[in-house]
Amino acid sequence: MALLQISEPGQSTEPHKHKLAAGIDLGTTNSLIATVRSGKAETLADADGKHTVPSVVHYVDSETIEVGHKAKQQQSIEPGNVISSIKRLMGRGLADMDKIKEFSANQLVESDTGMPGVVLENGIEKNPVEVSSDILRVLADRAEETLGGELGGIVITVPAYFDEAQRQATKDAAQLAGLKVLRLLNEPTAAAVAYGLDTGSEGIHAIYDLGGGTFDISILRLQKGVFEVLATGGDSALGGDDFDRAIAQYLVEQANVDSGDRRAHQLAMIKARDIKEALTDTDTVEVNFLEWNGQMSRDQVEEIIAPIVDKTLLSCRRTLKDAGVKVDEVDKVVMVGGSTRVPLVREKVEKHFKVPPLTDIDPDKVVAIGAAIQANVLIGNKSDDDMLLLDVIPLSLGVETMGGLAEKIIPRNTPIPIAKAQEFTTFKDGQTAMAIHVVQGERELVEDCRSLARFELRGIPPMVAGAARIKVTYQVDADGLLQVLAEETTSGVKADITVKPSYGLSDDQITNMLQSSFSHAEGDMEARMLREQKVEAARVIEAVTAALNENGKELLTEQEYAAIQSSLEQLNQTSQGDSVEAIEKAIEIVEKNSNEFASRRMDASIAKALVGHEVDEI
């Protein structure tokens, strides 16, 4: 008798049709790829048994490239033709480059993507999307060779603090590599999935993710089977590379290396990394760097890197406050990223959160494993009821209104995907177009926020000011990408844009945006009130002036006309100042002087409408 095939609920009834999917941790320093096989998520190794792929690309010539360990070996031999830490350039513009430490100014040029292009010594020019694509393709090839088939889709992890430009650049890189992206997943969220926190007891968990080039801290809550990110924080330009750089700076000072000797500085970085890793398991190491020979102790290195670790804890405190969570409410702390192997990091994190951190899973692999589990769900091999992840947007999304004010449409830490709409109206009579300026940030004024995109809504029917109804809808998908739609509801005219800005947040913006919103809160509110009063003053001046021009001479005596005109001039002058109360008082005087005029205009309008009609017809 033939066997009867059965399966678990939600799983395929035909195992041979199992779809191939993988999770990719596209890191600043190292990258990994993982998949689920026989119900277990695991990272995939190359022929030499190495699981990590250094995020380094060597462009030998226009036809030949090396990715990973071979490319890394060339860093000390041919640094001018090797690109590393490209993740730090993803979604950025040339204006940010003075803050990016790995790339000297003569290596960078403007590319057609809006992001900087890296010019190598052999004349080859590459942009961050192309370099990332080369890394992704090598990872995908490894998976397809190991699994014996083409990948049906991948999940790529990104720092939780990546903005729309950086996320879109990551998706572009995958598309260039010929890969289908099932979802972009925040790295801390992936780590929580890897530890099975999504299936554990309800509680609040902190994910401390210190990689080579980025730091993320996320506060997560598991409640009734829903895994929710309460708040995220971090710095997209802070990581273990900064440990190496600080140690390398000490080495070049001891060896009296010239600041322009790029090769010596590259060697110092390699030596610094070796010192850092060696001191994880021992107290002192012998150091031979160029012509300097000496010793370095763990205490000495910890003193060098302590300010960098403290900087991560500052983000932790801020993110806990954002989440409305006290330190003693955190049940578990997950350590992610190779830099969390540093003993000082673990000691300071444990002291800060008052609980021993979880370090059971290799911190280098944990993000890729979580991504693989999610990819297995999204490709259809497992019921998606098994996992519900609610990521959040890191910074508020809004629109510019009159007076340069930032009106928030979607507040920060709102779970995604999300769609929200708000109605606006026209400022002037007969206005037929409206400029939509999409901004991101926590401050009250547009000038203090980050500009994401601009577009125009045209074809608005000419109406009196305030009559049109412009519905602006913000929609953020599961990957954190934003689409904005503007529609005039009476006529149905529409305009939309998918926000794909040309560059990402600068280092200073990332680290200071939230902090500045708190420190400037009182001043921002005062500035907003002043701007709002100035906008109201402009509206009153516009409306009353238009009315005077239309029939002021007909309905007013010379004395009445002069009084209104005088109060308008006084309002115009007062609105140039900085006193909210004075502007408000000046508006009241204009309204008082023009109340009788408004009544006469209404009577005249009614009389005009009744001309030629019988009472019974009305």
Give the model confidence (pLDDT) of 348-390 as tens digits.
999 999 999 998 889 999 999 999 999 998 888 865 555 555 5
Measured between alpha carbons, how far is 12 from 170 in angstroms, rounded to an integer? 31
| CATH classification at residue 224 | 3.30.420.40
Same-domain pairing of 540 and 594: yes
Same-domain pairing of 468 and 528: no
Torsion sign, CA atoms 525, 529, 530, 531: positive
Same-domain pairing of 50 and 68: yes
Domain around 597 = 523-610
Per-residue pLDDT at 106: 44
Contacts of 73 (CB under 8 A, 6+ apart): none
Same-domain pairing of 117 and 154: yes
Question: What is the 3 state secondary structure string of 519-549?
Answer: HCHHHHHHHHHHHHHHHHHHHHHHHHHHHHH
For residue 180, give the H/E element and its range: none
Same-domain pairing of 160 and 256: no
User: Total domain count for the chain?
Assistant: 4
In a domain, 617, yes or no: no
Same-domain pairing of 149 and 191: yes
Identified catalytic residue from 187, 198, 400, 442:
187
pLDDT one-digit tens code per residue, 116-141: 788 888 888 888 899 999 999 999 99
Cα–Cα distances in angstroms (integers) from residue 363 to residues 359, 484, 596, in the given order? 7, 38, 75
Which residues make beta-bridge pairs with 440? Answer: 397, 450
Tell me: pLDDT of 595 over 90. no
Per-residue pLDDT at 616: 52
Query: Could you give the 3-state DSSP secondary structure of residue 382?
Result: coil
Share of the chain above pLDDT 90, in %: 25
For residue 310, give the H/E element and its range: helix 298-323
Measured between alpha carbons, how far is 27 from 25 in angstroms, rounded to an integer? 6
Same-domain pairing of 176 and 234: no
In a domain, 482, yes or no: yes
Measured between alpha carbons, how far is 471 from 485 in angstroms, rounded to an integer? 8
| CATH classification at residue 429 | 2.60.34.10
In a domain, 53, yes or no: yes
Identified catalytic residue from 72, 87, 171, 408:
87
Measured between alpha carbons, how far is 98 from 102 in angstroms, rounded to an integer? 10
Tell me: pLDDT of 213 over 90. no
Same-domain pairing of 310 and 368: no
Q: pLDDT-based confidence at 11, cuts 50/70/90? A: very low
- CA angle 14-18-22, nearest 5°? 165
Q: Which of 186, 201, 231 is nearest to 336 (CA)?
A: 186
In a domain, 127, yes or no: yes
pLDDT one-digit tens code per residue, 317-353: 999 998 889 999 999 999 998 889 899 999 999 999 9
Measured between alpha carbons, how far is 50 from 67 in angstroms, rounded to an integer? 13
Per the model's pLDDT, the better-predicted residue between 206 and 617 turns out to be 206
Same-domain pairing of 489 and 572: no
The predicted model scores a pTM of 0.60
Identified catalytic residue from 163, 209, 235, 444:
209
Identified catalytic residue from 25, 235, 244, 507:
25
For residue 326, give the H/E element and its range: none
Same-domain pairing of 495 and 540: no
| CATH classification at residue 542 | 1.20.1270.10
Q: Which of 524, 522, 561, 526 is nearest to 544 (CA)?
A: 561
Per-residue pLDDT at 153: 93
Per-residue pLDDT at 614: 56
Question: What is the 3 state secondary structure string of 115-138?
Answer: CEEEECCCCCEECHHHHHHHHHHH
Per-residue pLDDT at 310: 94
In a domain, 513, yes or no: yes
Work out the average pLDDT over 254-280. 86
Per-residue pLDDT at 501: 41
Tell me: pLDDT of 4 over 50. no
Per-residue pLDDT at 16: 47
Per-residue pLDDT at 3: 42
| 96 noted as active-site residue | no
Contacts of 484 (CB under 8 A, 6+ apart): 399, 436, 438, 453, 455, 472, 473, 474, 475, 496, 497, 499
| 209 noted as active-site residue | yes
In a domain, 2, yes or no: no
- Cα 401 → chain centroid: 23
Tell me: pLDDT of 508 over 60. no
Q: Tell me which residue has tokens 């200073």.
A: 508
In a domain, 1, yes or no: no
Per-residue pLDDT at 5: 41
Work out the average pLDDT over 259-267. 81
pLDDT one-digit tens code per residue, 448-492: 787 888 888 888 888 887 788 888 888 887 767 788 888 888 888
Q: Please provide the average confidence, as pLDDT, over all residues in the chain.
A: 81
Same-domain pairing of 480 and 529: no
Same-domain pairing of 145 and 54: yes
Measured between alpha carbons, how far is 94 from 423 in angstroms, rounded to an integer? 36
DSSP code of residue 445: B
Tell me: pLDDT of 196 over 50. yes
Work out the average pLDDT over 287-316. 91
Cα–Cα distances in angstroms (integers) from residue 301 to residues 215, 252, 422, in the given order? 20, 15, 53
| 187 noted as active-site residue | yes
Per the model's pLDDT, the better-predicted residue between 574 and 66 turns out to be 66
**Structure-token pair, residue 80:** 């001018």
Q: pLDDT-based confidence at 53, cuts 50/70/90? A: very high
For residue 31, give the H/E element and its range: strand 30-37
In a domain, 203, yes or no: yes
Measured between alpha carbons, how far is 394 from 517 in angstroms, rounded to an integer? 14
Measured between alpha carbons, how far is 556 from 597 in angstroms, rounded to an integer? 7
Tell me: pLDDT of 505 over 70. no
pLDDT one-digit tens code per residue, 534-564: 778 887 888 888 888 877 777 778 888 888 8
- Tell me which of 486, 519, 552 is where a domain ends: 519
